[in-house]
Chain A
């Protein structure tokens, strides 16, 4: 299973990368970690005419605090996110999610931005970002633009990224330090893509939920924020009954597809279970922060 030929570009700077991509337009694809792209190329399911390898672009390799957000550059490895003390303090949900991405050897090469751009509906990081909130910085011929995560994911393996553009940076919004977080996934084996999963953030105001974010993955064409469930929980005490009701509301309108790993119905059952567990864990951790 050998890939088809392509023209190889290895720019050294972000500017060079963007210029090359702009010029190539639809013919060019970014090679970051390659952990998703190269298998597709080996199957010849993807046959890009040009690959723009960003692995030499040192300036895009960072995970750092920036203006209140956690900024992750296009070349930052998933393993770097996992190890980052800044990430642990600014957005621990993302660190938790990173641990569920495949296996460490994949995370040594796979990039955070690459996972976001690849937009697999069963992937962990897009959903975690969706829950966390924030935006991506997209660089193209006309300059840079910002797209919130909430409008980034358009369909399976499809984002607002246009041909010739680079997803240059992911900016995760910071939640208050006493936010509780949880990341729950059900997969067939350790390290597999999710059958279904939930990422939750809960911030309490005393005994009451002041703010909550709940994102699901593996259950729709994209990761989804379940706004109705969030609204139900907001202002509530987060009791077991309220959690169960929120989970029901969250899955009510889902129509996950069926595949060999589970029917749509099965995915809904699993999603329900993941949501309950994620909310319970996030609430427990939020309450712990609050003493």
Chain B
């Protein structure tokens, strides 16, 4: 019953290997076994989305996933968003737009938004609204979160355009 199983995962680009009970929830594995406390626990029954992480690029609820199910997969948590000391455009946008108050839903919200923008780089406000409806926020009433995601979308699109050959960028300008 309390047999330990291997969990070899790459989280935010770093490989880890641990041995845990099969019943150990992924959120507890991340927080306690790996010390990545940015992923939060809200309800532990898969409704609020606070525990959202990306597994192989897709958002999942880590409170209703066993750590053993992540074995062999790639995860991204909020700690993986910023790179080289620079915040991700979503983090900057949430900061500029005040898309957070208590910050507790924020990690999950950021990752969900990241997934949305990867699938749909130029969403309408209503598309953003429907996408983030998967994640509860009790503080903001969502309005500034929508503002933040739309602003980040713009920045990410511009950055993507800027990384294209200079001639094309000049034309856009």
Residues of A within 8 A of B (CB): 1-8, 10, 31, 34-35, 38-39, 41-43, 51, 53, 55, 79, 102-106, 108-109, 190-191
Of all chain A residues, the one with the shortest Cβ separation from B23 is A3
B125 interface residue per 8 A CB criterion: no
User: How far apart sit A44 and B138, CA to CA, in the bound complex (Å)?
Assistant: 27
Residue on B nearest A9 in the bound complex, by CB? B22
**Known contacts A8-B5, A106-B46: does B64 contact A51 (CB below 8 Å)?**
no
CB distance from A8 to the nearest CB of B (A): 3
- Number of A-B pairs, beta carbon distance below 8 Å: 84
Chain A: minimal CB distance from B32 (Å): 12
| Shortest beta-carbon distance from B149 to chain A in Å | 15
Chain B 101-138, CB within 8 Å of chain A: the 1/0 string?
Answer: 00000000000100000000000000000110110000
Residue among A8, A34, A191 making CB contact with B64, cutoff 8 Å: A34
CB closest residue in chain A, given B5: A8
Q: Are A38 and B21 in contact (CB under 8 A)?
A: no
Q: Are A55 and B44 in contact (CB under 8 A)?
A: no
Decide if B45 touches A42 in the complex (CB within 8 Å). Answer: yes
- Say whether B3 contacts A7, CB under 8 Å: yes
- The residues of A that contact B63 with a CB separation of less than 8 Å are 42
Q: Is B91 an interface residue (CB 8 A)?
A: no
Nearest-neighbour CB distance to chain A for B107, whole angstroms, equals 14
Instruction: Tell me the complex Cα distance, A164–B92, Å.
Output: 52
Q: Beyond A106-B46, A108-B58, A191-B133, is A38–B22 a contact (Cβ under 8 Å)?
A: no
Which residues of B come within 8 Å of A, CB atoms?
1-3, 5, 21-23, 25, 28, 44-47, 49, 52, 58-61, 63-66, 68-69, 112, 130-131, 133-134
Top 10 nearest A-B pairs by Cβ distance? A103-B134, A8-B22, A39-B45, A38-B64, A1-B44, A105-B59, A5-B1, A108-B58, A3-B23, A39-B46
Starting from the known contacts A34-B69, A191-B133, 18 additional A-B residue pairs (CB-CB under 8 Å) come to: A3-B23, A5-B1, A5-B22, A6-B22, A7-B3, A8-B5, A8-B66, A31-B69, A34-B65, A38-B65, A39-B47, A39-B64, A41-B23, A43-B45, A104-B59, A105-B49, A105-B52, A108-B59
Interchain CA distance A241-B49 in the complex, whole Å: 44
Min distance, Cβ B160 to any Cβ of chain A, angstroms: 23
Supply 6 A–B pairs (Cβ within 8 Å), ascending by A. A3-B23, A5-B2, A5-B21, A39-B45, A42-B45, A105-B61
Identify the closest chain A residue to B134 (Cβ): A103
In the complex, A79→B23 CA distance in Å?
Answer: 25
* A-chain residues with CB within 8 Å of residue B22 when the two chains form the complex: 5-8, 51
Residues of chain A lying within 8 A (CB to CB) of residue B66:
8, 31, 34, 38
Q: Verify A109–B65 contact, CB threshold 8 A.
A: yes
Q: Specify the chain B residue showing the minimal Cβ separation from A102.
A: B134
Please give me the residue from chain A that is nearest to B63 by CB atom. A42
Distance between A3 CB and nearest chain B CB, rounded to angstroms: 5
Nearest-neighbour CB distance to chain A for B7, whole angstroms, equals 11
Chain A hits for B47, CB < 8 A: 39
The answer to whether A109 and B60 touch across the interface, beta carbons within 8 angstroms, is yes
B23 near A4 with CB under 8 A, answer yes
- Minimum Cβ distance to chain B for residue A39 (Å): 4
Q: Min CB distance, B39 to chain A, in Å? A: 14
Which of B1, B52, B61, B131 is A7 in contact with, Cβ under 8 Å?
A: B1
Q: In the complex, what residues of A have CB within 8 A of residue B49's CB?
A: 103, 105
Complex alpha-carbon distance, A25 and B59, angstroms: 33
A7 contacts which chain B residues (CB < 8 A)?
1, 3, 22
